[in-house]
Chain A
Amino acid sequence: MKYPYSDGDKISEPNTYFYTEYIGLDFFDYFDESRNNILSLDNKSIKPVISNKRSNSLKANTLNTIDYLNELFSLLIDKRGVDTYKKVDFLLKKFEISKKIYNVYDLEWRPTNQSNAFSFKLYIGFALILDTSYKNTRKLNYLNALLKIIDSLVSVYEDLDILEKRNLTWLILEETKHINELKNKLVVSQ
């Protein structure tokens, strides 16, 4: 058996994660093997940067997700924003329900075009938001979504450009730290 949650294109056809099978300690080996395969392909790690160049909305009354991610990241770094995590949680809910992140939403947060979901930079940017949120709060719902996004990005590794691949390497290294800390805290042996 191998780790099944990054097989196929999980951005186009996301996992549901309903009633996932429990297989005991072997699961950790399969998970590590899947992630280590990616780390072995390129050992360079680059922390993602969310572009702070505001995009030009093509239409009035639309919201560009990259602008929203940029605003969120600034608020997280600043640590003074009121309701910052409510804004993170809002996007988290959108992601968890559809397992997709769209480039453009209308003012009711409906995707303006369902076919425009596949900008990997959005997934990487949101993964950075989740990583930062988890480090700041230790709330498991952020780590949970980070694991799911990394599953999806690993599944499309061959389609990422070189910078995106190195961003993914950075995210996997962060994820590994979080998982190991949690295992140590709960005395889970490998």
Chain B
Amino acid sequence: MIKLKGFTLLAAETSRSQVYLETFSHYGLYFDNIILLKKSKSSNGLFSISSINVKKKSPDEEMYEPLFNRSIDQLAETVTDNISIIYTESIKDQKIVERINEIRPKFTIYSGFGGQIVPKILLDQSVFIHAHAGWLPDYRGSTTIYYSLINDNDCAVSVITLEPNIDSGVILSRKRYSAPNSDIDIDHIYDNQIRADLLSKTIMNYIKNGIFDMSISQNEDESTTYYVIHPMLKHIAKISLESK
């Protein structure tokens, strides 16, 4: 077990948090606290994966492959003994601010609901760390994994600090990954799998060395911002994998 003193995980009932928790559990990472966001009290903590095409076999033999055989609640118990559940649909909920204010973590690993911007009031209380599925500063924004597949025939992850402007934080580590096999669900599995992989290794290196692998400020002029990919480009990106 690797105790992560000063680290809190802010997770939500999403496929991304499911993959993160499985991967963190696999590597024995143990957080001081987990704040788990749930949309409703009727939730049983079991993220529905029945609609996800769970095909595995990533091209990287060393990368952990999620099994999707445990609920988020069950997984959370394997990586901390302090779980706070907050029922909310928004990262701006005051209850989250209050809980972070109580814990005062040095680092908060962020895996909230997709498409929401973390408010400055939270960013002021802790260093929020986020894994972005794109090589920064080249690929900012949304669904960059698909743009990277079309342009470069590979994928990448950048672990960064969260700042008020999207994907503009300090780069703590970066890694390029092979394009996935054509039968992998990219949205729910491969995208999350490569983020979880680099995030785990970045955290482990920090615990081992006391510093992050790198600390690179981004130059605004070097970046391109991408927006949610149109299904035509998404299909071209994915179908092109079959010919490679």
Contact = CB atoms under 8 A, between A and B. Distances in A.
Nearest to B226: A141
Sorting the interface of chain B by its residue count into under 10, 10 to 19, 20 to 34 or 35 or more gives 20 to 34
A25 B240 CA distance: 11
Contacts of B187: 19, 22
A99 to B, nearest CB: 10
B230 interface: yes
A17 B232 CA distance: 11
B243 A16 contact: no
Nearest to A5: B231
Given A22-B235, A28-B235, A186-B236, A140 B226 contact: yes
User: Of A19, A92, A140, A151, which is in contact with the most chain B CB atoms at under 10 Å from its CB?
Assistant: A140
Contacts of B230: 17, 20, 144, 147-148, 151
Contacts of A179: 232, 236
Given A19-B187, A186-B240, A186-B243, A144 B233 contact: yes
A177 to B, nearest CB: 14
A140 B150 contact: yes
A22 B234 contact: yes
B239 interface: yes
A174 interface: no
B232 A188 contact: no
A146 B242 CA distance: 26
B232 A31 contact: yes
B224 interface: yes
B151 A141 contact: no
From B114, B227, B234, name the one whose CB has the most chain A CB atoms within 10 angstroms.
Answer: B227
B227 A187 contact: no
B235 A27 contact: yes
A186 to B, nearest CB: 4
Which secondary structure dominates where chain B touches chain A? helix
Interface string A106-150: 000000000000000000000000000000000111011101100
Given A17-B231, A20-B234, A179-B232, A188 B226 contact: no
Contacts of A2: none
Given A22-B238, A140-B150, A182-B150, A17 B228 contact: yes
A89 B16 CA distance: 30
Nearest to B151: A140
Nearest to A19: B187
Interface string A150-187: 01000000000000000000000000000100110011
A96 interface: yes
A144 B236 contact: no
A37 interface: no
A147 B235 CA distance: 13
Nearest to A146: B230
B63 interface: no
Interface string B204-229: 00000000000000000000111111
Contacts of A183: 236
A113 to B, nearest CB: 25
B147 interface: yes
B225 A188 contact: no
Contacts of A143: 233
A139 B187 CA distance: 22
A16 B228 contact: yes
22 contacts: A5-B231, A16-B228, A17-B230, A18-B114, A20-B230, A21-B231, A22-B187, A22-B238, A24-B235, A27-B235, A28-B235, A96-B228, A140-B147, A140-B150, A144-B226, A144-B229, A147-B230, A147-B233, A148-B230, A179-B236, A183-B236, A186-B243
Given A27-B235, A147-B232, 13 more contacts: A17-B231, A18-B115, A19-B187, A22-B187, A22-B231, A24-B235, A139-B224, A141-B226, A144-B230, A179-B236, A182-B233, A186-B243, A188-B239
